[in-house]
Amino acid sequence: MNEQSLGFINQLIDKTERGKLSWSTGFEDGQFKTLLPDGKLAFVVQVKGERCRFLMLDDRQEVILDATVTRDDAHLDKVQGGIDQENLYEAILKLQELARSRALRVNEKLTKAGELLAAI
Protein backbone atom coordinates (compact mmCIF):
# COMPACT_ATOMS: atom_id res chain seq x y z
CA MET A 1 0.00 0.00 0.00
CA ASN A 2 2.78 2.43 0.98
CA GLU A 3 4.74 1.62 -2.18
CA GLN A 4 1.69 2.38 -4.32
CA SER A 5 1.08 5.60 -2.43
CA LEU A 6 4.71 6.58 -2.85
CA GLY A 7 4.47 5.93 -6.61
CA PHE A 8 1.41 8.17 -6.95
CA ILE A 9 2.93 10.87 -4.75
CA ASN A 10 6.07 10.98 -6.89
CA GLN A 11 3.95 11.26 -10.05
CA LEU A 12 1.94 14.07 -8.46
CA ILE A 13 5.13 15.88 -7.47
CA ASP A 14 6.39 15.62 -11.04
CA LYS A 15 3.11 16.85 -12.61
CA THR A 16 2.80 19.68 -10.11
CA GLU A 17 6.37 20.84 -10.75
CA ARG A 18 5.59 20.90 -14.47
CA GLY A 19 2.48 22.98 -13.76
CA LYS A 20 0.05 20.36 -15.06
CA LEU A 21 -2.00 20.10 -11.87
CA SER A 22 -3.86 22.80 -10.03
CA TRP A 23 -4.34 22.53 -6.27
CA SER A 24 -6.82 24.20 -3.97
CA THR A 25 -7.27 24.41 -0.22
CA GLY A 26 -9.22 21.69 1.56
CA PHE A 27 -11.17 21.99 4.77
CA GLU A 28 -8.68 21.24 7.52
CA ASP A 29 -5.51 23.22 8.18
CA GLY A 30 -2.65 22.16 5.95
CA GLN A 31 -4.95 20.21 3.64
CA PHE A 32 -4.88 20.59 -0.15
CA LYS A 33 -6.79 18.83 -2.89
CA THR A 34 -6.72 18.33 -6.63
CA LEU A 35 -9.22 16.81 -9.01
CA LEU A 36 -8.29 15.15 -12.27
CA PRO A 37 -10.29 16.17 -15.38
CA ASP A 38 -13.96 15.05 -15.27
CA GLY A 39 -13.56 14.40 -11.54
CA LYS A 40 -12.59 10.78 -12.12
CA LEU A 41 -9.99 10.84 -9.36
CA ALA A 42 -9.16 13.19 -6.51
CA PHE A 43 -6.00 13.45 -4.42
CA VAL A 44 -5.73 15.02 -0.99
CA VAL A 45 -2.55 15.76 0.85
CA GLN A 46 -2.36 17.02 4.42
CA VAL A 47 0.28 17.87 6.94
CA LYS A 48 -1.14 18.70 10.34
CA GLY A 49 1.24 18.81 13.24
CA GLU A 50 3.40 15.71 13.06
CA ARG A 51 0.90 13.75 11.01
CA CYS A 52 1.16 13.45 7.22
CA ARG A 53 -1.73 12.07 5.23
CA PHE A 54 -2.26 11.18 1.59
CA LEU A 55 -5.67 10.20 0.16
CA MET A 56 -6.83 9.01 -3.22
CA LEU A 57 -10.58 9.07 -3.92
CA ASP A 58 -12.56 7.82 -6.91
CA ASP A 59 -15.41 9.61 -8.76
CA ARG A 60 -17.90 8.45 -6.10
CA GLN A 61 -15.69 9.96 -3.40
CA GLU A 62 -14.79 6.53 -2.06
CA VAL A 63 -11.35 6.35 -0.48
CA ILE A 64 -9.10 4.15 -2.61
CA LEU A 65 -5.80 4.84 -0.85
CA ASP A 66 -5.29 6.27 2.61
CA ALA A 67 -1.69 6.55 3.77
CA THR A 68 -1.01 8.19 7.11
CA VAL A 69 2.44 8.46 8.61
CA THR A 70 3.73 10.38 11.62
CA ARG A 71 7.21 11.68 12.27
CA ASP A 72 7.63 9.07 15.02
CA ASP A 73 6.69 6.24 12.62
CA ALA A 74 9.21 7.51 10.09
CA HIS A 75 11.93 7.87 12.73
CA LEU A 76 11.24 4.42 14.20
CA ASP A 77 11.30 2.88 10.75
CA LYS A 78 14.62 4.53 10.01
CA VAL A 79 16.11 3.28 13.29
CA GLN A 80 14.93 -0.25 12.52
CA GLY A 81 16.64 -0.16 9.15
CA GLY A 82 13.52 0.31 7.02
CA ILE A 83 13.16 3.11 4.51
CA ASP A 84 9.50 2.75 3.56
CA GLN A 85 7.87 5.06 6.11
CA GLU A 86 10.73 7.55 6.00
CA ASN A 87 10.44 7.90 2.20
CA LEU A 88 6.67 8.22 2.38
CA TYR A 89 6.91 10.88 5.07
CA GLU A 90 9.43 12.90 3.09
CA ALA A 91 7.43 12.55 -0.13
CA ILE A 92 4.17 13.71 1.50
CA LEU A 93 5.99 16.67 3.03
CA LYS A 94 7.40 17.65 -0.36
CA LEU A 95 4.06 17.25 -2.17
CA GLN A 96 2.21 19.22 0.51
CA GLU A 97 4.69 22.07 0.23
CA LEU A 98 4.32 22.14 -3.55
CA ALA A 99 0.51 21.96 -3.31
CA ARG A 100 0.45 24.79 -0.77
CA SER A 101 2.65 26.88 -3.03
CA ARG A 102 0.31 26.28 -6.03
CA ALA A 103 -2.96 26.64 -4.11
CA LEU A 104 -2.00 29.88 -2.35
CA ARG A 105 0.03 31.19 -5.33
CA VAL A 106 2.92 31.76 -3.02
CA ASN A 107 5.46 32.68 -5.72
CA GLU A 108 3.19 35.26 -7.36
CA LYS A 109 2.38 36.82 -4.01
CA LEU A 110 6.04 36.96 -3.00
CA THR A 111 6.93 38.67 -6.30
CA LYS A 112 4.10 41.15 -5.85
CA ALA A 113 5.11 41.81 -2.26
CA GLY A 114 8.66 42.52 -3.43
CA GLU A 115 7.38 44.95 -6.07
CA LEU A 116 5.10 46.72 -3.58
CA LEU A 117 7.87 47.07 -1.06
CA ALA A 118 10.25 48.37 -3.73
CA ALA A 119 7.71 50.95 -4.80
CA ILE A 120 7.41 52.47 -1.31
Q: Where do contacts with another protein occur on this chain (CB under 8 A)? A: 24-29, 31, 33, 35, 37-39, 42, 44, 57, 59-61
Q: Which is nearer to another protein, 46 or 87 (CB)?
A: 46
Q: Which is nearer to another protein, 43 or 89 (CB)?
A: 43
Shortest separation between residue 56's beta carbon and another protein, angstroms: 12
96 burial class (0-12, 13-18, 19+ CB within 10 angstroms)? buried
Shortest separation between residue 34's beta carbon and another protein, angstroms: 10
Decide: 61 and 52 in contact? Cβ < 8 Å: no
Q: Which is nearer to another protein, 6 or 55 (CB)?
A: 55
Shortest separation between residue 96's beta carbon and another protein, angstroms: 15
